[in-house]
Chains A and B, each alone.
Chain A
């Protein structure tokens, strides 16, 4: 019992704390609140219509100048810009312009620098981003937004991207799971009911790809499927397609599905195999001797006994598929991207870490539900490894 403590602490620090930190980021963003505390204090009493009082202009002028000195104005501008477009340049330009001004009236000074400061929308955006704790990223991740008056509506049509991406991830994962089942069931059956020597040999054909590096297998599919690749060369050589009619099989959804099915197939075959191996052949013989046709015997006797394997394999493949990143990123092109790729995009390119955290949080919740389901059906301690 004491022996578990070191590892529990280790996992807590090296794994669970990072996850917690990511989830915290998805609801907690102190950048604007820390940079503009006085402004936000005054805006707290403002009714949101008309313009805020002179004191707000004075406060934001002082705080923007300070933010510029501390080089945080870019971060503040970026945050506000996510709520209201055009704010990034407004903030950085205003902060620069305020350098040369020493006294007010500040409203006139700021409206003089940019007319936008005379519009309530700017102030609403400041107030909205000034909250330390916010559901904004989660709303954003399900294509919703909060209007200045506090109501929640769907994003305008052209900004709805994440829900359709989530659905795409779900159906692609479902399709891959089904493909793995259709391809994996017969070979698991063949291996399970072969004599030991042959079974071992065939099992090797499943295990070698399973142990081979993911990047190697993905590279291999690029080599096989690209327009100047091996498969197209074969098709041209046997005259099935013309040299100018080479098929586009990669850098799109086809590429993602083919490569991912290949990567995940062993996760289906191995649990199926271990269930099928335990089914005595005499059950099928008994069914046949009682007059069942092969199809009946399969449907009524064999298939039901393999259901635990079907469930375990399918859940495992599905869980792994919805979190996949590397393969779609390398062979998916733009149409074969999944939700993970969007998380990576917001982590590395747009630097909208709050949104990345929210998308990750939603994925995590989905995987958690499936994980609990797996635990109920199969038991996590029986998670198969090879």
Chain B
């Protein structure tokens, strides 16, 4: 790949350089094209998934908000939003508290079997989700939590925990332990030390871990597919049904909303990462 080196090397080979930039441009297009295409199509006045001639000529009447009206008025979509938020927020709260505690424990120098424990705590993230979902289906229905909100909250908490453990552990790696010693020497108890010294410093890591956990739950569909009844359907589950059964541009309206939401989450995480200086979320 000589084209590559020309960018970093001092000798510029214009032709290779252009080929390299053109290739990169195509890859970036590949990355964002699906998002670029969904947003305008969600304003389609016709029930099609492709640009009508009117849309291409930018005629006002070719665009409409009918699909947005449809999802806002639809009982099922509204309920799925409530479910997604209930399950997502509950799972995030649980995962953040448990995950932060565990990360503090893991950071302790006397922690035995750290590698094994870390591996176990992170395992929900690397296990193929279809396998987790299958196991959870058996287990939660056998203890009477199949088709319940509580069952889904517990399942999503398990899936979100690794993200909290990883981000908080990374933040703690740059934490100066002398600060806790100083607090202790000034007479603060462990709880007070945690609240007044540690927590404010690791807060950005905790928050971004929480955001990751929320995003995981908010986007999760396989476990929901296996475990949820009609009453627990979340937004991704409703989209799944829409894609499989009655595909209508209303899905594109939901998708546009989710893209906006993703951008918000992304900016929140990036902002936290910058505040924290030590870049916990990215290696």
Are B138 and A230 in touch, CB under 8 angstroms?
Answer: no
B contact residues around A185 at 8 Å (CB)? 4
Are B121 and A208 in touch, CB under 8 angstroms?
Answer: no
Given the interface pairs A211-B215, A223-B252, the reply to whether A202 lies near B28 with Cβ below 8 Å is: yes
Are A294 and B27 in touch, CB under 8 angstroms?
Answer: no
Chain B residue at smallest Cβ distance from A361: B131
Q: Say which residue of B98, B163, B243 sits within 8 Å of A330 (CB atoms).
A: B243
Q: How distant is the Cα of A3 from the Cα of B107 in the complex, in angstroms? A: 10
Interface residues of B in 105-135 (CB under 8 A from A): 105-106, 108, 110-112, 115, 117-132, 134-135
Q: Is A22 an interface residue (CB 8 A)?
A: yes
Interface residues of B in 10-33 (CB under 8 A from A): 10-11, 13, 16, 20-21, 23-24, 27-28, 30-33
Q: Is B239 an interface residue (CB 8 A)?
A: yes
Given the interface pairs A220-B37, A330-B243, A381-B118, the reply to whether A183 lies near B219 with Cβ below 8 Å is: no
Given the interface pairs A224-B37, A326-B221, the reply to whether A219 lies near B24 with Cβ below 8 Å is: no
Say which one of A4-12, A37-45, A56-64, A81-89 lies at the interface with B.
A4-12
Q: How distant is the Cα of A211 from the Cα of B163 in the complex, in angstroms? A: 14
Are B163 and A385 in touch, CB under 8 angstroms?
Answer: yes
Q: How distant is the Cα of A347 from the Cα of B115 in the complex, in angstroms? A: 33
Q: Is B255 an interface residue (CB 8 A)?
A: yes
Q: How distant is the Cα of A330 from the Cα of B251 in the complex, in angstroms? A: 14
Most B CB within 10 A of own CB, among A215, A224, A284, A375: A215
Q: Is B93 an interface residue (CB 8 A)?
A: no
Q: Is A349 an interface residue (CB 8 A)?
A: no
Say which one of B66-74, B179-187, B262-270 lies at the interface with A.
B262-270
Q: Is B140 an interface residue (CB 8 A)?
A: yes
Q: How distant is the Cα of A379 from the Cα of B37 in the complex, in angstroms? A: 38
Interface residues of A in 289-344 (CB under 8 A from B): 289, 293-295, 297-298, 302, 319, 322-326, 330, 340, 343-344
Q: How distant is the Cα of A22 from the Cα of B161 in the complex, in angstroms? A: 21
Q: Is A262 an interface residue (CB 8 A)?
A: yes
Q: How distant is the Cα of A210 from the Cα of B215 in the complex, in angstroms? A: 11
Q: Is A159 an interface residue (CB 8 A)?
A: no
Q: How distant is the Cα of A10 from the Cα of B98 in the complex, in angstroms? A: 9
Q: How distant is the Cα of A223 from the Cα of B41 in the complex, in angstroms? A: 9
A contact residues around B9 at 8 Å (CB)? 284-285, 287-288, 294, 297-298
Q: Is A193 an interface residue (CB 8 A)?
A: yes
Q: How distant is the Cα of A325 from the Cα of B221 in the complex, in angstroms? A: 10
B contact residues around A186 at 8 Å (CB)? 1, 3-4, 20, 23-24, 27
Are A14 and B158 in touch, CB under 8 angstroms?
Answer: yes
Are B31 and A385 in touch, CB under 8 angstroms?
Answer: no
Interface size class of A (residues with CB under 8 A): 35 or more
Given the interface pairs A18-B138, A325-B222, the reply to whether A215 lies near B236 with Cβ below 8 Å is: yes
Are B27 and A270 in touch, CB under 8 angstroms?
Answer: no
Chain A residue at smallest Cβ distance from B159: A15
B contact residues around A224 at 8 Å (CB)? 33-34, 37
Given the interface pairs A15-B123, A206-B31, A222-B243, the reply to whether A7 lies near B281 with Cβ below 8 Å is: no
Nearest CB in chain A: distance from B170 CB, A = 8
Are A380 and B31 in touch, CB under 8 angstroms?
Answer: no
Are B129 and A325 in touch, CB under 8 angstroms?
Answer: yes
Q: Is B258 an interface residue (CB 8 A)?
A: yes
Are A213 and B31 in touch, CB under 8 angstroms?
Answer: no
Q: Is B199 an interface residue (CB 8 A)?
A: no
Q: Say which residue of B10, B27, B137 sits within 8 Å of A347 (CB atoms).
A: B137
A-B contact pairs, 17 of them (CB 8 A): A1-B105, A4-B102, A5-B105, A10-B158, A15-B124, A183-B27, A184-B27, A190-B21, A212-B35, A215-B236, A219-B251, A221-B34, A223-B49, A302-B8, A323-B128, A347-B134, A371-B126
4 closest cross-chain pairs (CB), A and B: A323-B128, A220-B34, A3-B105, A18-B135
Q: Apart from A3-B102, A222-B243, A284-B5, list 10 A-B contacts with CB within 8 A.
A: A11-B121, A11-B124, A212-B35, A215-B219, A218-B243, A219-B239, A284-B9, A323-B127, A356-B134, A383-B122
B contact residues vs A (CB 8 Å cutoff): 1-11, 13, 16, 20-21, 23-24, 27-28, 30-35, 37-38, 41, 48-51, 98-99, 101-102, 104-106, 108, 110-112, 115, 117-132, 134-140, 142, 154-155, 157-158, 161, 163, 165-167, 169-170, 212, 215, 218-219, 221-222, 226, 236, 239-240, 243-244, 247, 251-252, 255, 258-259, 262-263, 265-266, 269-270, 281-283
